[in-house]
């Protein structure tokens, strides 16, 4: 069999012709996608990814880009991690689909063995694996309503929990996710998250003040809108994800836990994005020492294979009727095998140590950028924990006439423009929230060199866009 190089030597112009066909094929694929993929999906780049390796992705037209999105916090160990891919491939030769309502399968049980020791509280000992973060939230809400006999859910302003109907109802980060789809699931109320911009206070406001303001609103909700006897659960991301990349103060989370305990309300902690090492601990809630009643995880759990987890206490889940949970593909064997390999890699490759080291470098570099005189008015905030980091830019208009953080001297649409410039320079990066925020989600095992490369691309993009005005 001839390689393309040998063939080109025998047939002059053959390789060039081959490349031309490839280019034509690539263009036709992009065109096919534009015409026939639902308009309900948004895209950053009109292109086709064909290969992922570590911190990089390659497009069909030959572009190789540094990926600081990791599929929105999914490929935490980088694209196509060899141990994870090998485990999935091996499982494909044994059993692919062992339906969870028929019997156990080995990877499911092995994954429970791996997760039990790393749970943020030893009381979390009952597991249900599903396919996506949205489904995990649906299951958590079902569980809370069933075991408490109550209906209402209190969520957080800015929180994101998914786009299925129950998850969409508790999602408060952007109206685009629910616009036109009402009526949504009833019985949902929300309070402000301890995020300075939402509260209209200075970025330097201390955690105690933010906590006091938000816990006061929570108490008012229970007095004015949803009585404790009607409230099944409080749902919170300990690290606000799509709503702006904001770490909740530990004292706020502890205050919510105390209120839950006082009123017989369950605490659902959503770690779909912040879990599995993203913020420097296996789960972000560990920073506060707070015990969840129900914990949801997904994304980085299986490094790209569709898998989510709902973890609770047996005393709660033993109240569920057999058959009330399930799903055709729930806890798929291949995805579970991949997740087992992910858990092993965290230990063997000392992933959390790398997260902490790279986090220090990333935050230091971004704060140095913020300190530059030419950028001091353009950058409002640098924040984050581990490798879940954000830069918030100023805006001449803000979110509207009552946004107190507007600055007529800065360019409009900084976040989107900077992200686009980063794409042009060879790095994938994402905006987030209704504010001007860019989020950094590099692989947890990103090298020092690749992190520095990404920071340099970002810095150049910011300086260029601000200079252009």
Q: Return the CATH number of the domain spanning residue range 95-348.
A: 3.40.640.10
8 Å CB contact between 61 and 49 = no
Q: Return the CATH number of the domain spanning residue range 33-80+350-469.
A: 3.90.1150.10
Average pLDDT of the chain is 94
Nearest to 240, CA basis, from 206, 195, 184: 195
Question: Where are the CATH 3.90.1150.10 domain residues in the chain?
Answer: 33-80+350-469
pLDDT of residue 23: 59
Tell me how crowded residue 46 is: count the other CB atoms within 10 A of its CB: 9
User: For residue range 213-262, what is the model confidence (pLDDT) as tens digits?
Assistant: 999 999 999 999 999 999 999 999 999 999 999 999 999 999 999 999 99
pLDDT at 4 over 80: no
User: For residue range 307-318, what is the model confidence (pLDDT) as tens digits?
Assistant: 999 999 999 999
pLDDT at 19 over 60: no
Q: Which two tokens stand for residue 385?
A: 């924990």
| Per-residue confidence band for 12, with pLDDT thresholds at 50, 70 and 90 | very low
pLDDT at 104 over 50: yes
The CA-based angle 34-442-291, given to 5 degrees, is 110
Question: Where are the CATH 3.40.640.10 domain residues in the chain?
Answer: 95-348
Phi, psi of 117 (to 5 degrees): -70, -20
| Per-residue confidence band for 166, with pLDDT thresholds at 50, 70 and 90 | very high
| Alpha-carbon 39 to chain mean position | 23
> Given the DSSP bridges, would you call strands 64-67 and 427-428 parallel, antiparallel or unpaired?
parallel
pLDDT of residue 26: 86
SS (HEC) of the chain: CCCHHHHHHHCCCHHHHHHHHHHHHHHHHHHHHHHHCCCCCCCCCCCCEEEEEECEEEECCCCEEEECCHHHHCCCCCECCHHHHHHHHHHHCCCCCCCCCCCCCHHHHHHHHHHHHHCCCCCCCEEEEECCHHHHHHHHHHHHHHHHCCCEEEEECCCCCCCCHHHHHHCCCCHHHCCCCCCCCCCEEEECCCCHHHHCCCCCCCHHHHHHHHHHHHHHHHHHCCCHHHEEEEEECCEECCCCCEECCHHHHHHHHHHHHHHCCEEEEECCCCCCCCCCCCCHHHHCCCCCCEEEECHHHCCCCCCEEEEECHHHHCCCCCCCCCCCCCCCHHHHHHHHHHHHHHHHCCHHHHHHHHHHHHHHHHHHHHCCCCCCCCEEEEEEECCEEEEEECECCCCCCCCCCECCCCCCCHHHHHHHHHHHCCEECEEECCCCEEEECCCCCCCHHHHHHHHHHHHHHHHHHHHHC
| Per-residue confidence band for 18, with pLDDT thresholds at 50, 70 and 90 | very low
């Amino acid at each position: 069999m001839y390689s393309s190089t040998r063939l080109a030597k025998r047939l002059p112009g053959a390789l060039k012709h081959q490349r031309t066909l490839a280019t034509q094929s690539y263009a036709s694929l992009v065109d096919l996608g534009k015409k026939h993929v639902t308009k309900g999906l948004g895209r950053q780049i009109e292109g086709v990814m064909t290969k992922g390796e570590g911190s990089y992705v390659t497009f069909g037209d030959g572009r190789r880009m540094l990926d600081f999105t990791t599929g929105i916090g999914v490929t935490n160990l980088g694209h196509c991690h060899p141990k994870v891919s090998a485990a999935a491939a091996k499982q494909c030769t044994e059993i692919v689909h062992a339906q969870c309502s028929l019997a156990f399968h080995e990877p499911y049980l092995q994954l429970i063995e791996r997760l039990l020791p790393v749970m943020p509280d030893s009381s979390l000992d009952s597991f249900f694996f599903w396919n996506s973060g949205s489904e995990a939230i649906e299951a958590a809400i079902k569980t809370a309503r069933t075991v408490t006999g109550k209906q209402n859910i209190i969520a957080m302003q800015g929180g994101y929990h998914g786009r299925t109907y129950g998850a969409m109802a508790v999602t408060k980060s952007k109206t685009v996710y629910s616009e036109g789809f009402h009526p949504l699931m009833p019985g949902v109320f929300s309070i402000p998250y301890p995020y300075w911009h939402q509260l209209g206070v200075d970025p330097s406001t201390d955690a105690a003040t933010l906590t006091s303001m938000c816990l006061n609103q929570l108490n008012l909700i229970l007095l004015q809108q949803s009585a404790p006897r009607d409230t099944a659960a409080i749902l919170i991301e300990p690290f606000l994800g799509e709503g702006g990349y904001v770490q909740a103060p530990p004292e706020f989370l502890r205050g919510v836990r105390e209120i839950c305990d006082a009123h017989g309300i369950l605490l659902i902690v959503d770690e779909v994005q912040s879990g599995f090492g993203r913020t420097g601990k296996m789960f972000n809630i560990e920073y506060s020492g707070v015990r969840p009643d129900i914990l949801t995880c997904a994304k980085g759990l299986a490094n790209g294979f569709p898998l989510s987890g709902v973890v609770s206490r047996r005393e709660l889940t033993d109240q569920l009727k057999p058959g009330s949970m399930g799903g055709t593909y729930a806890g798929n064997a291949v995805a579970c095998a991949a997740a087992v390999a992910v858990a092993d890699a965290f230990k063997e490759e000392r992933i959390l140590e790398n997260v902490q080291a790279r986090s220090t470098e990333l935050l230091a570099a971004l704060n140095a950028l913020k300190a530059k005189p030419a950028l001091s008015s353009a950058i409002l905030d640098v924040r984050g924990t581990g490798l879940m980091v954000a830069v918030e830019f100023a805006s001449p208009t803000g979110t509207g006439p009552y946004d107190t953080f507007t600055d007529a001297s800065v360019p409009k649409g900084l976040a989107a423009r900077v992200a686009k410039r980063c794409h042009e320079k060879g790095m994938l990066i994402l905006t987030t929230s209704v504010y001007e925020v860019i989020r950094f989600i590099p692989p947890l095992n990103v090298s020092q060199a690749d992190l520095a490369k990404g920071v340099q691309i970002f810095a150049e993009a910011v300086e260029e866009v601000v200079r252009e005005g």
